[in-house]
A and B are shown apart, each in its own frame.
Chain A
């Protein structure tokens, strides 16, 4: 889906985030759910920010959510993004609670609205990295 070659610095999976990126490679949006208090968190980290428990399960998110807010980038502030404008950046609030910074794709920027239901798709941008993005849920 990455029609324009991806030249950006890519995410660097680490001790905390490797299972997340591994999930993306398998087209699964994986989130940590605290084994003690049940809080679902994002981004991945070792401790539960709510109760400090170190027990967490990786659970597959439904992939559904809604647009919390968004912007349409018309003038990219870095040269390597200029050929991609316009593109939509958004915060998507997942059904499980956390918000993700992402792109809304497969629709025109004018169609995006706050509250719009969206669903995850997976965009392979390099051999190692697959990015979860969202499209309108129709």
Chain B
């Protein structure tokens, strides 16, 4: 068990969040989206670029870039004392938040910004100079493992086999995310869907239908972290990080011990332990949702329901606004847009600050955010609240 017990998190605060337009944003480079998101986040904090002395970025997937964080910093006229590129897939945004908080809390920097952005929709499949070695090339891709849905579809099928989970239950998640996206003016998808729409959608990879799969989007997001002292004179109420946890159980699914339980189990229990709260205390959850199944299995692993009961848990509007546990109030990757989970953090901060208008959760004092990367390979949980 990792010991976080020194209370170091009390020395840091989230003081700014920013996002770009999300959806189809033609003619804008990934670098420009990073700049846009970072500018928004720094302005949101009431700071200037001269205050920023640390930059953490997640490079675009289609364009892996050497020294990306330094390049982004330089492009904004920032000279960081501390910089780092990070990529653990969709767990990266929360992971970067943790790295930024650690650096701030330990005096390596004062004001850190983290960002992810990519023009994935407009430039999909057009890498500038090459792709990562993803470790699918030798033993998976020759069998047609092309695209992310396959690994998750195989995991979902196993959960259905072990626990009797149904496609309609996956559909309830898709419907909830879309309902929330419709209430978010910065969404890629604007039209509500019904369970019938979900069931009528064509299969991509059985058991996943089109509406079980997240979007491909252009856009970016950024978050500013500083010391609690410095947070006293920023523009908005600082947001407190109360608990963190992580777990990275496998790389490819063929080496996974199980596909019906994820790193969220350990990641979540660590975060709850550190925060000193339990799942029933959480008012709003921004749960990484690359596929519907990803949400369902994490809800179980995080302890919002028992293992195997995720299917019945998501039914009946329980995870919709107005329900017991509103999930992905911005619409998530499934319906707002795929910004790799960075906007899950942005939304949690805005919920805690009561800035979400019609989709505001009443008394959103405690928010839980997760990030999940690879094929249920990497996982981070963060619990946030107020000072």
Contact = CB atoms under 8 A, between A and B. Distances in A.
Interface of A: 8-12, 17, 42-43, 68-78, 81, 84, 87, 89-91, 98-103, 109, 114, 125, 129, 131, 133
Nearest to A82: B146
A77 B146 contact: yes
A102 B143 contact: yes
B144 A131 contact: no
B350 interface: no
Contacts of A12: 137-138
Contact of A78 (B146, B205, B208, B259): B146
B250 to A, nearest CB: 11
B132 interface: no
Given A68-B158, A89-B150, A91-B254, A73 B144 contact: yes
Contact of B203 (A72, A77, A131): A72
B171 interface: no
A77 B147 contact: yes
B29 to A, nearest CB: 24
A9 B147 contact: no
6 contacts: A69-B259, A70-B157, A74-B205, A77-B147, A101-B252, A114-B157
A50 B253 CA distance: 18
Contacts of A133: 143
A90 B161 contact: no
A76 to B, nearest CB: 6
A12 B205 CA distance: 27
Contact of A69 (B137, B158, B255): B158
A13 B266 CA distance: 36
B149 interface: yes
B270 to A, nearest CB: 24
Contact of A71 (B139, B140, B161, B205): B205
Interface of B: 137-147, 149-150, 153-155, 157-158, 161, 202-208, 210, 252-255, 259
Contact of B154 (A91, A129, A131): A91
Contacts of B155: 69
Contacts of A90: 154
Contacts of B203: 72, 74-75
A77 B149 CA distance: 9
Contacts of B207: 71
A76 B138 contact: no
B101 to A, nearest CB: 32
Contacts of B142: 8, 10-11, 125, 129, 131
A17 B138 contact: yes
A80 to B, nearest CB: 8
Nearest to A75: B204
A118 B342 CA distance: 42
A43 B139 contact: yes
Given A69-B259, A71-B150, A114-B161, A101 B205 contact: no
Given A71-B153, A71-B205, A81-B144, 12 more contacts: A8-B142, A11-B138, A70-B157, A71-B150, A75-B204, A77-B146, A77-B149, A89-B150, A90-B154, A101-B143, A101-B253, A109-B206
Contacts of B143: 89, 101-103, 131, 133
Contacts of A78: 146-147
A17 B137 CA distance: 13
Given A72-B206, A114-B158, A114-B161, A89 B253 contact: no
B145 to A, nearest CB: 6
A70 B140 CA distance: 13
Nearest to B257: A99
B124 to A, nearest CB: 10
B206 A74 contact: yes
